[in-house]
């Protein structure tokens, strides 16, 4: 075959671009967070056969992918506080602190006068 070397290199580059591995042959535990989420998202609607094929291509076990899915789900289950409740708490703290400062202010002035003398 008389195929120019540059053509072969272009084919290889195009093939590598098309088959770019999501994990760059790293174990799934070392994937970036975005890559893990993308893998879970991409495989969420796949059948078992297609999922197994995907996992072979990405060098990951199906069980590892299921673990990634549960990690993604649990990451969004963190305890969040009610913003209104937090706002009310901060308002009460602000009022309490303000009253404390107003109450302590005359004492601070008196102490300041004593220190000056």
The pLDDT profile of the chain, 117 residues, written as one tens digit per residue, is: 788 888 888 888 887 766 555 445 566 667 888 888 899 999 999 999 999 999 888 888 999 999 989 988 888 676 666 778 888 888 888 888 776 666 666 666 676 666 665
Same domain? For 36 and 64 the reply is yes
Give me the pLDDT at residue 113, please.
Answer: 63
Give the structural domain span for 115. Answer: 82-117
What is the DSSP-derived secondary structure letter of residue 76? T
Same domain? For 70 and 89 the reply is no
Same domain? For 87 and 116 the reply is yes
Helix (H, G, I), strand (E, B) or coil at 96: helix
Give me the pLDDT at residue 51, please.
Answer: 92
Say how many domains are in the chain. Answer: 2
Give me the pLDDT at residue 72, please.
Answer: 85
Length, in residues, of the chain:
117
Give me the pLDDT at residue 43, please.
Answer: 92
* CA distance linking residue 61 with residue 64, whole number of Å: 5
């Amino acid at each position: 075959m008389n195929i120019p070397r540059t053509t072969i290199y272009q084919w290889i580059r195009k093939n590598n671009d098309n088959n770019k591995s999501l994990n760059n042959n790293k174990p799934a535990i070392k994937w970036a967070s975005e890559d893990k989420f993308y893998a879970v998202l991409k495989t969420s609607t796949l059948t078992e056969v297609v999922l197994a094929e995907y996992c072979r291509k990405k060098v990951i076990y199906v069980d590892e992918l299921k673990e990634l899915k549960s990690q993604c789900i649990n990451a969004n289950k963190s305890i969040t506080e009610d913003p209104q409740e937090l706002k009310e708490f901060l308002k009460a703290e602000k009022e309490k602190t303000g009253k404390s400062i107003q109450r302590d202010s005359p004492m601070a002035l008196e102490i300041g006068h004593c220190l000056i003398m």
